[in-house]
Amino acid sequence: MKLLLVIFVVHAIFIPCFSFDVPGKDLPLTLDYYKSTCPTVFDVIKKEMECIVKEDPRNAAIVIRLHFHDCFVQGCDASVLLDETETLQGEKKASPNINSLKGYEIVDRIKNIIESECPGVVSCADLLTISARDATILVGGPYWDVPVGRKDSKTASYELAATNLPTPEEGLVSIISKFYYQGLSVEDMVALVGAHTIGKAQCRNFRSRIYGDFGVTSALNPVSETYLASLRELCPEISGEGDSNVTAMDNVTPNLFDNSIYHTLLKGEGLLNSDQEMYTSMFGIQTRRIVSKYAEDPVAFFEQFSKSMVKMGNILNSKSLVDGEVRKNCRFVNT
């Protein structure tokens, strides 16, 4: 695979731009899919995402996470966006999504603008995939080309949402298996988890970690002790108290897409058990090496993150490719 590396300057931030040969020549996705039917789609999404992230930098992480949760269930087909109806059980109430997955209104907002310019042309699945790329760039992350041409599913899977998505308490071996199931490697997994550098987590998802082995992995140096004390103040030990309180997973540069999250793991201060496992698990010989590499080399992290996001975005729903649609409203199947 040939790699072209160019450096752009955007708002005084150096943004690596990676261009790759798209794996899988038989994929029905192309870079110019909307060239004649909606040539402004990339510009429209970019412009709106600039406003959305300016309003709240956390929106970048929200959109990236929404894309991830979509692709791990039935492929990248916008099934995660479907609301429940009398005839369809959606994915929004599945345990990994309920009370935590957000960003649906962001998609609605962009979709309304695109529908006014190119009605019935751009799928919600493509919209979300492009938005995730732009969200990454807007907080300092890398650029990559986004192949498009996905169709929106007419179905959703509550069951797959409950089983396919990794959870914060999960062990390393189980998480690796879930990535392998999607055709993603260990290298992809460690790189994609790097998006947590701009993410936040709810108390309910890190309580067991901060009242568990946090002190062991961080060796409780004075700085770690202070950090742990602040986390425990935010998140009481008793289940049900402060469950929805949130804090950044990267407590150094929480609004900047960089490799800081890997330095956090090296110090043993990963907020989520699933993240810290990549460095401290007895099964993490390979992941430990990759974490260390990305901590040392931010360009290597950006390069692999770009590749892995393209690879994840290419997980397709074969059924939707045959009988899928372009939804007019991303929350509902067309009638």
Binding residues: 70, 73, 75, 77, 79, 91, 166, 196-197, 250, 253, 258
Q: How many residues does the chain have?
A: 335
Spatial distance between the Cα atoms of 126 and 186, rounded to a whole number of angstroms: 26
List residues forming the annotated binding site for Ca(2+). Answer: 70, 73, 75, 77, 79, 91, 197, 250, 253, 258
26: how many CB neighbours lie within 10 A of its CB? 4
Tokens of 293: 């590499």
Q: Around 145, how many Cα atoms within 13 Å sit in the side-chain half-sphere?
A: 16
Angle at 92 between CA 318 and CA 153, to 5 degrees: 20
User: Annotated catalytic sites, by residue?
Assistant: 69
The bridge status of strand 143-144 relative to strand 13-19 is parallel
- From 119, 156, 198, 161, select the one nearest 320 (Cα to Cα): 156
Q: Which residues pair with 13 in a beta bridge?
A: 10
List residues forming the annotated binding site for substrate. Answer: 166
246: how many CB neighbours lie within 10 A of its CB? 17
Spatial distance between the Cα atoms of 76 and 151, rounded to a whole number of angstroms: 9
40: how many CB neighbours lie within 10 A of its CB? 12
Angle at 319 between CA 80 and CA 79, to 5 degrees: 5
List residues forming the annotated binding site for heme b. Answer: 196
